[in-house]
């Protein structure tokens, strides 16, 4: 469009501008809705039994003197063989976690189950074998630990880790695998049963989220990380966790000699046909 002085001005149609704005607004609304639905789907959900639900709904938190969390197949199966095989334990809940690597439902299929001692309800165990994504780790720690009374609470975490992730100046360190390393919160009293995790090694994943939560809330907590060079479930790796729970005394009773049938069911022999070079 030209003015009376010969100046040329660019003119845009208001109708086109409004249509573009409406389309952009619709796209933003759609993206926001998708993000909201995805966040809801990735939310960590706890499923407690009736007795626990009634207690939590009344505003009470679960009395807990010891909370033992096993992260990984060797840590979880160690508890299955040496602790949970007795009839002293009952399942009281589970957690369902949906993400890109774990799309199972709730309950046993979720790979996250809670147990409580029948004769001592203040001792709670959690077996976790499913994948917890980075954006779900602190949410898991907050939701689970907020269900427990923090007074006199002691948290023990058993965690699997590959020897490939361990950094050491000692070239021959791998000859002594598997072995334990520990990290603990400031509120933890007493020496751990193994050396501290050396720098520059760092704690990652859910164990790190749980320890961080305990540090912030001044809860006594210790993480025992087992480094192993064996892929899959291994009886020797499982036994490495024994000193960590033996330290808890009467709170946890370890089976000194589990049956061979129980071990056979837990420890699976690797199929040689899976070897790439056979």
| Segment 190-224, tens digit of pLDDT | 899 999 999 999 999 999 999 999 999 999 999 99
For residue 48, what pLDDT band results from cuts at 50, 70 and 90? very high
As a whole number, mean pLDDT of residues 214-243 equals 92
User: Could you tell me what percent of the chain has a pLDDT over 90?
Assistant: 56
**pLDDT band of 274, cuts 50, 70, 90:** very low
User: CA-to-CA distance for 158 and 89, rounded, in angstroms?
Assistant: 19
pLDDT of residue 1: 54
| Separation CA 248–CA 187 (nearest Å) | 16
Whether 243 shows a pLDDT value over 90: the answer reads yes
Q: Which of 273, 204, 262 is nearest to 84 (CA)?
A: 262
The proportion of the chain whose per-residue pLDDT surpasses 70, expressed as a percent, equals 78
pLDDT at position 100 is 85
**Residue 27, pLDDT above cutoff 70:** no
108, pLDDT greater than 60: no
pLDDT digits (tens, 9 = 90+) for 262-273: 676 666 544 444
3-state helix, strand, coil in the chain (%, to 5): 40, 20, 40
Instruction: Quickly state the pLDDT bin for 233 (edges 50, 70, 90).
Output: confident
Instruction: Take residue 187 and report the two structure tokens written for it.
Output: 């509120």
Query: Which of 99, 95, 136, 131 is closest to 115 using CA atoms?
Result: 95
Task: Find the angle CA(139)-CA(160)-CA(81) to the nearest 5 degrees.
Answer: 105
Average pLDDT over residues 176-195: 93
CA atoms 233, 266, 44, 41: torsion sign = positive
Q: What is the pLDDT of residue 158?
A: 98
226's CB contacts (< 8 A; 6+ apart) are 74, 75, 158, 159, 160, 161, 178, 179, 180, 237, 240, 241
More confident residue, 17 or 88: 88
Mean pLDDT of 161-181: 79
At 111 the pLDDT is: 87
Q: What pLDDT sits at residue 101?
A: 85
Give the residue-averaged pLDDT of 116-136: 94
Higher model confidence: residue 259 or residue 192?
192
How many CB atoms lie under 10 A from the CB of residue 240? 22
Average pLDDT of the residues in 110-137:
93
Residue 276 has pLDDT above 70, yes or no: no
Q: How far apart are the first and last CA of the chain?
A: 79
According to the model, what pLDDT value does residue 219 have? 97
């Amino acid at each position: 469009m030209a003015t009376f002085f010969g100046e040329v001005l660019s003119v845009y149609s208001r109708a086109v501008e409004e249509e573009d704005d409406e389309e952009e607004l619709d796209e933003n609304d759609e993206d926001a809705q998708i993000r909201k639905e995805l966040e809801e789907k990735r939310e960590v959900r706890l499923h407690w039994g009736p007795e626990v639900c009634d207690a939590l709904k009344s505003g009470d938190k679960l009395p807990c003197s010891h909370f033992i969390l096993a992260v990984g197949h060797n840590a979880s199966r160690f508890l299955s063989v040496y602790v949970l095989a007795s009839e002293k334990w009952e399942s009281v809940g589970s957690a369902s976690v949906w993400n890109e690597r774990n799309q199972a439902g709730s309950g046993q299929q979720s790979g996250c189950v809670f147990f409580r001692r029948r004769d001592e309800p203040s001792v709670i165990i959690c077996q976790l074998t499913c994948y917890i994504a980075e954006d779900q780790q602190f949410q898991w720690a907050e939701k689970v630990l907020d269900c427990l009374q923090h007074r006199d609470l002691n948290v023990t975490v058993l965690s699997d880790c590959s020897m490939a992730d361990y950094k050491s100046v000692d070239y021959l360190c791998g000859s002594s695998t598997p072995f334990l390393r520990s990290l603990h919160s400031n509120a933890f009293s007493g020496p751990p049963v193994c050396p501290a995790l050396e720098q520059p090694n760092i704690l990652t994943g859910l164990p790190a989220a749980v320890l961080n939560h305990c540090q912030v809330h001044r809860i006594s907590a210790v993480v025992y990380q087992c480094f192993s060079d064996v892929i899959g479930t291994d009886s020797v790796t499982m036994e490495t966790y024994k000193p960590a729970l033996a330290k808890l005394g009467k709170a946890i009773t370890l089976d000194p000699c589990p049956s061979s049938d129980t071990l056979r069911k837990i420890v699976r022999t690797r199929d040689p046909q899976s070897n790439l070079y056979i």
